[in-house]
Amino acid sequence: MLRNIKPGRRAKIRCHHAKGAVRQRLLDLGFVPDTDVEVIRKAPLGDPIECCVANYTVALRNSEADLIEVESY
């Protein structure tokens, strides 16, 4: 899952398991299958995480990051 990727590492999105409005939000933000994503940093307490996807940065809650299945490089 995206939450488990360490800062500075890249991964490829395989799929996500979100439903409803959360699913649509993730798709609108660019979290679509076969897209590269990089974890930039995590907050001091681990939530949220900052990711770079489609050439811009997005902050995701851990609950959202747990819905995104990735393949690490």
pLDDT digits (tens, 9 = 90+) for 12-34: 999 989 999 999 999 999 999 99
Preceding omega of 33 cis (within 30 degrees of 0):
no
| Model pTM above 0.75 | yes
Q: Which residue has the tokens 């995104």?
A: 68
Rounded-to-integer distance, Cα 65 and Cα 55, Å: 18
Task: For the chain, give every domain's residue range.
Answer: 2-72
- Annotate 1-25 with DSSP letters as a single string: -GGGSPTT-EEEEEEE---HHHHHH
CATH homologous superfamily of 2-72 equals Ferrous iron transport protein A (FeoA) (2.30.30.90)
Spatial CA neighbour of 6 closest among 70, 57, 58: 70
- pLDDT band, residue 54 (cuts 50/70/90): confident
